[in-house]
Amino acid sequence: MAQRIAIVSALHAELAEVLALMPDEHKRRVGGRTFWTGHLHGHDVVLVLSGMGKVAAAATTALLIDRFQAGQVVFTGVAGGLAPGVEVGDVVVGGGFIQHDMDASPMFPRFELPGQGVTRLPADAVLAQVLQEAAEDAVTWLPKLLDATTLATLGLHRPAVHRGLIVSGDRFVSTDAESAALRQAVPEALAVDMESAAVAQVCRDFGVGFGAVRTISDRADNEAHVDFPRFLDQVARHYSARIIRRTLNLL
Ligand code: ADE
């Protein structure tokens, strides 16, 4: 039997578009979260909002796998761009994940997950490839959806897709100093979010494939006080829905 695919977002607007596509959803509340099960593009799926932060995301992932038999987990959401050239409106597909606020030194090296002997958690290679193809389609489609004024107001030019390291921690990074420190500590990092590496850790514990796709909503700097509702409404939710639809068609 085909594996059930979990689709997870931190924020409601990102999931609402996807939910609207699901004709036969069934709702169940567990641990203060609402899980929607049903079918999308021929796949058995479960959708849930993780809430923000690593603990919320980790607990949600454990429930998805243990209570809802998720065999693969896909996270869709927004992130702050860290590497040069990772701009607002771009999409980052996770190739690997590090918890940037994990530091049990001197017992374990900085960033290493204590007792696990691992720092960088991998994405499922097939999921990452499919998410990349889906994201490439979405970035060429979005500029056609929005008018020139909206694109200019949001600072969007020619959105690009990047694939590589995403770092996660329980902080919304919103100062030049903090993003510079992160770039220095983890030079490979493309983007920063608050959930992906936590979900990756739980998926690894259970032997479940994980993929993450993040739209860049800000540059994690002093200007990172973006108007989130507006960015979600005009950009991120469209990307999420389009990428998830296409991903499910490709899987
Ligand atoms: N998600 C979106 N932008 C972010 C940022 N700057 N820091 C952490 N998570 C984010």
Residue 147 lies in a domain: yes
CATH of the domain at 172: 3.40.50.1580
Does 218 sit in the ligand 1 pocket, CB within 6 Å?
yes
Atom of ligand 1 at shortest distance to CA of 218?
Answer: 3
Q: Which of 171, 186, 192, 215 to mutate for ligand 1's pocket (most ligand atoms within 8 Å of CB)?
A: 192
Does 211 sit in the ligand 1 pocket, CB within 6 Å?
no
Atom of ligand 1 at shortest distance to CA of 173?
Answer: 7
117 CA → ligand 1 middle, Å? 27
Residue 181 lies in a domain: yes
Atom of ligand 1 at shortest distance to CA of 219?
Answer: 6
Other CB atoms within a 10 A radius of the CB of residue 174 amount to 17
Q: Which of 87, 194, 215, 230 to mutate for ligand 1's pocket (most ligand atoms within 8 Å of CB)?
A: 194
Residue 28 lies in a domain: no
Predicted confidence at residue 154, as pLDDT, reads 75
Residue 139 lies in a domain: yes
Residue 18 lies in a domain: no
Helix residue ranges, H only, the chain: 12-20, 54-66, 125-145, 148-153, 176-185, 196-206, 228-231, 237-250
> What is the domain extent for residue 147?
77-250
- 61, two tokens: 């992932």
Give φ, ψ of 144 to 5 degrees.
Answer: -80, -25
39 CA → ligand 1 middle, Å? 31
16 CA → ligand 1 middle, Å? 20
Predicted confidence at residue 53, as pLDDT, reads 97
Predicted confidence at residue 86, as pLDDT, reads 96
Does 80 sit in the ligand 1 pocket, CB within 6 Å?
yes
Predicted confidence at residue 232, as pLDDT, reads 82
Question: What is the residue-level pLDDT of the chain in tens, covering all 251 positions?
Answer: 589 999 999 888 888 888 888 878 899 999 999 999 999 999 999 999 999 999 999 999 999 999 999 999 999 999 999 999 999 999 999 999 999 999 999 999 999 999 999 999 999 999 999 999 999 999 988 777 778 887 787 777 788 999 999 999 999 999 999 999 999 999 999 999 999 999 999 999 999 999 999 999 999 998 877 677 788 888 888 888 899 999 999 99
Q: What is the DSSP letter of 155?
A: T
Contacts of 176 (CB under 8 A, 6+ apart): 221, 222
Atom of ligand 1 at shortest distance to CA of 226?
Answer: 3
Residue 203 lies in a domain: yes
Query: 17, 193, 218, 221: which is the annotated catalytic residue?
Result: 218
Predicted confidence at residue 145, as pLDDT, reads 77
Please state the domain count of the chain: 1
Residue 47 lies in a domain: no
Q: Which of 175, 178, 218 to mutate for ligand 1's pocket (most ligand atoms within 8 Å of CB)?
A: 218
